[in-house]
């Protein structure tokens, strides 16, 4: 280690005797405390202006006897400097890791084993050392962009570390968050073409981002039978997101297991007359994912109502039957209740279709949620999360899957009084236990402070874009290590596509810029529509009538026409029910013929 006094005049430059790399010394260590150090910056007049710019966020190297310590500047000040010294300023630095070896054998390792001594030489880190730090350690790395400090150095992310320990992308609206998600997922699919990816697309932005590698599902082509919903989820559907009536819930809790038993007996018997079993001995619970028919459910409720003499008690049963019939006949719920009275154990087909088993060249599913009834979205997300985890659990994780949740704060809110409890529970279960069963979690949110802190704490790789809200920044400070916490002061001033990356997936806490995304992979949502009205839009009464026709068509019992934009998304192997409602897909963006499409007949 260096033994010179900090007051001595340093060399103008220190050369690497074994090569041509010349690095300029501009400071000395003047204080060491744990993982922190303080550096005196020298002004000897022979260092270039670009070299002197030791500003906040820059990496530096501290030359010790056995290694090069990599540190990051977190504060620069010219206060309280001794007049007798040659220092023009001082800088506080965080010690992050060490580079061992020389030449091509150099390796970077996190953590510091040999701490610097007072007087050790300090230099701005050079490009070669940055490449050593961020060099890919294997084939399981993806290129996501370049370092903000040196655009010639590629920023790599370790896929295994990022996926197996979950990740999150955080950022306000308009900072390039959706584009960053498209970049990450496309790179993951390129590196791991067999990994199954399931994306909850809240605003219908990602339908065109993944080309032929993704199956796009929406209410038009989704089949999610009502009997796959557990008791809490089906109650949420029947009562439109409001708390259930206790008397009606008691009736449902009694008859659902019996309805499951009746259907199973019917499937296993050739007899016309069936002996209905005691609900306590049927062998099924409320949440057992086996089929039952709505006609059997209503028949059981009606049978119990007929045995009552008290008129007020019969009203409760009648209201429950009416509630079930109303939801069953609503065309917006056709994806759940199609063939509800016919039955059929289609669970294998549903799981295979949703989670791409086999993938058939499409390992990814984009679930577009914008067209679903608002009252049922939480229940649908709960079912999908729960089934993804349970399939991983009961298959022992032999077919890994990445579950990506856009606008995650909507489904796993920090406020227990907001949102749907089972959805939060399902997301939380993936976050806490999913990695054991090959179910990985990716969270995307613009309000991390509103997201359940337990869930976000399970994400060990964070990609943070610009966040202006103080609560969001405070949550991040509590979620990252001390060494990375000082970087968070950059969060409010990050530019578009700029990212602070923390955690297991990256070599060091890093400020980087996402690389450009090809045009065909850019998310296109409703937010991309121009604020300037189209000159050819024809905003007359005919235009308004055309919009209303499509609007009403979403809740009408009519067949979809071949000229409907979403018609081609339907799976060929499935027959669609007569209650399928045509949907206007926001994912189409502002096409030149947007308004001419509106005037086309729906049937």
We report the CATH number of the domain holding residue 369 as 3.40.50.300
Same domain, 355 and 448: yes
Task: Let me know if 519 is exposed, middle or buried by CB neighbors in 10 A (0-12, 13-18, 19+).
Answer: exposed
The answer to whether 218 and 567 are in contact (CB under 8 A) is no
β-pairing verdict for 59-63 and 121-124: antiparallel
In a domain, 593, yes or no: no
In a domain, 592, yes or no: no
Query: Considering 489, 521, 553, which residue would you say is the last residue of a domain?
Result: 521
Query: Considering 505, 521, 537, which residue would you say is the last residue of a domain?
Result: 521
Query: Considering 521, 556, 581, which residue would you say is the last residue of a domain?
Result: 521
Same domain, 76 and 58: yes
Same domain, 283 and 319: yes
Task: Give CA–CA dist 82/76, Å, rounded.
Answer: 16
Structural domain boundaries, residue 480: 143-147+153-222+345-521
Same domain, 359 and 437: yes
List the Cα angle 173/177/178 in 5-degree steps: 100
Predicted pLDDT of residue 13: 38
For residue 110, the Cα-to-chain-centroid distance in whole angstroms is 27
Predicted pLDDT of residue 533: 62
Same domain, 391 and 517: yes
Same domain, 74 and 189: no
Cα distances from 343 to residues 137, 172, 232, 336, in angstroms, run: 53, 45, 21, 12
In a domain, 550, yes or no: no
CB atoms within 10 A of CB 174: 12
Same domain, 189 and 319: no
In a domain, 567, yes or no: no
Helix (H, G, I), strand (E, B) or coil at 246: helix
Number of domains in the chain: 3
Report the number of secondary-structure helices (H) and strands (E) in the chain: 17, 20
In a domain, 11, yes or no: no
In a domain, 464, yes or no: yes
Task: Give CA–CA dist 260/254, Å, rounded.
Answer: 11
In a domain, 482, yes or no: yes
Helix (H, G, I), strand (E, B) or coil at 167: strand
- For 387-450, the DSSP string reads HHHHHHHHTTTSS-EEEEEETGGGTSBSSTTSS-HHHHHHHHHHHHHGGGGTEEEEEEES-GGG
Task: Give CA–CA dist 544/24, Å, rounded.
Answer: 69
Same domain, 42 and 171: no
Adjacent-strand bridge partners of 511: 500
Same domain, 310 and 419: no
Q: Can the peptide bond before residue 27 be classed as cis, meaning omega within 30 degrees of 0?
A: no
Same domain, 351 and 381: yes
Residues in CB range of 387: below 8 A, 6 or more apart: 228, 351, 354, 355
Residues in CB range of 507: below 8 A, 6 or more apart: 97, 108, 110, 133, 134, 156
Helix (H, G, I), strand (E, B) or coil at 272: coil
Same domain, 328 and 363: no
Low-confidence ranges of the chain (pLDDT < 70): 1-25, 44-54, 82-85, 138-139, 268-282, 309-310, 481-486, 525-539, 554-603
Cα distances from 225 to residues 138, 166, 183, 290, in angstroms, run: 44, 30, 33, 10
pTM of the model: 0.80
In a domain, 172, yes or no: yes
Same domain, 213 and 245: no
């Amino acid at each position: 280690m260096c033994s010179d006094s900090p007051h001595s005049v340093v060399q103008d430059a220190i050369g690497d005797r074994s090569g041509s790399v010349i690095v300029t010394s501009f400071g000395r260590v003047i204080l060491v405390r744990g993982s922190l150090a303080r550096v005196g910056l020298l002004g000897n007049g022979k260092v270039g202006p670009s070299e002197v710019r030791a500003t906040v966020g820059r990496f530096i190297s501290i030359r010790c006897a056995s290694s090069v310590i990599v540190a990051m500047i977190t504060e620069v000040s010219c206060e309280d400097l001794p007049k007798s010294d040659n220092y023009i300023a001082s800088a506080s630095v965080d010690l992050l890791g060490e580079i061992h070896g020389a030449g091509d054998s150099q390796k970077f390792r996190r953590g510091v084993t040999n701490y610097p001594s007072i007087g050790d030489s300090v230099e701005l880190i050079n490009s070669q050392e940055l490449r050593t730090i961020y060099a890919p350690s294997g084939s399981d790395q993806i290129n996501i962009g370049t370092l903000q400090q040196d655009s010639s150095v590629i920023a790599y992310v370790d896929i295994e570390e990022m996926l197996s320990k979950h990740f999150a992308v955080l950022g306000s609206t308009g900072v390039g968050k959706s584009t960053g998600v498209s970049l990450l997922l496309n790179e993951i699919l390129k590196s791991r073409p067999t990994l199954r990816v399931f994306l909850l697309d809240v605003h219908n932005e990602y339908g065109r981002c993944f080309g032929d590698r993704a199956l796009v599902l929406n209410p038009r082509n989704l089949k999610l039978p009502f009997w796959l919903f557990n008791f809490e989820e089906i109650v949420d559907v029947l009562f439109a997101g409001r708390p259930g009536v206790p008397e009606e819930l008691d009736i449902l809790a009694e008859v659902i297991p019996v309805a499951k038993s009746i259907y199973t007996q019917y499937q296993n018997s050739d007899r016309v007359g069936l002996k209905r079993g005691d609900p306590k001995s049927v062998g099924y619970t409320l949440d057992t994912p086996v089929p039952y028919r709505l006609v059997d459910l209503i028949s059981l409720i009606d049978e119990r109502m007929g045995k009552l003499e008290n008129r007020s008690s019969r009203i409760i049963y009648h209201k429950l039957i009416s509630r079930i019939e109303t939801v069953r006949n609503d065309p917006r719920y056709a994806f759940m209740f199609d063939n509800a009275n016919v039955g059929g154990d289609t669970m294998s087909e549903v799981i295979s279709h949703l989670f791409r088993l086999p993938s058939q060249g499409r390992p990814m599913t984009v679930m577009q949620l914008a067209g679903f009834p608002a009252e049922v979205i939480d229940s649908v997300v709960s079912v999908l999360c729960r089934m993804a985890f349970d399939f991983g659990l009961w298959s022992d994780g032999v077919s890994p899957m990445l579950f990506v949740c856009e606008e995650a704060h909507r489904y796993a809110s920090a406020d227990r009084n907001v949102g749907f409890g089972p959805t939060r529970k399902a997301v939380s279960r993936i976050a806490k236990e999913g990695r054991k069963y090959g179910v990985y979690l990716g969270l995307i949110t613009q309000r991390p402070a509103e997201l359940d802190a337990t869930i976000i704490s399970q994400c060990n790789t964070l990609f943070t874009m610009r966040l202006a809200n103080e609560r969001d920044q405070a949550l991040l400070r509590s979620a990252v290590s001390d060494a990375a916490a000082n970087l968070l002061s950059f969060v409010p001033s990050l530019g578009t596509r700029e990212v602070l990356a923390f955690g297991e997936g990256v070599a060091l806490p890093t400020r980087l810029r996402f690389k450009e995304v090809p045009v065909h992979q850019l998310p296109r949502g409703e937010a991309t529509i121009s604020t300037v009205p189209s000159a050819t839009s024809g905003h007359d009464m005919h235009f308004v009538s055309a919009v209303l026709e499509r609007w009403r068509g979403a809740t009408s019992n009519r067949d979809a026409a071949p000229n409907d934009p979403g018609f081609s998304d339907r799976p060929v192997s499935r027959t669609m029910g007569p209650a399928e409602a045509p949907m206007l897909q926001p994912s189409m963006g502002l096409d030149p013929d947007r308004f001419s499409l509106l005037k086309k007949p729906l049937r």
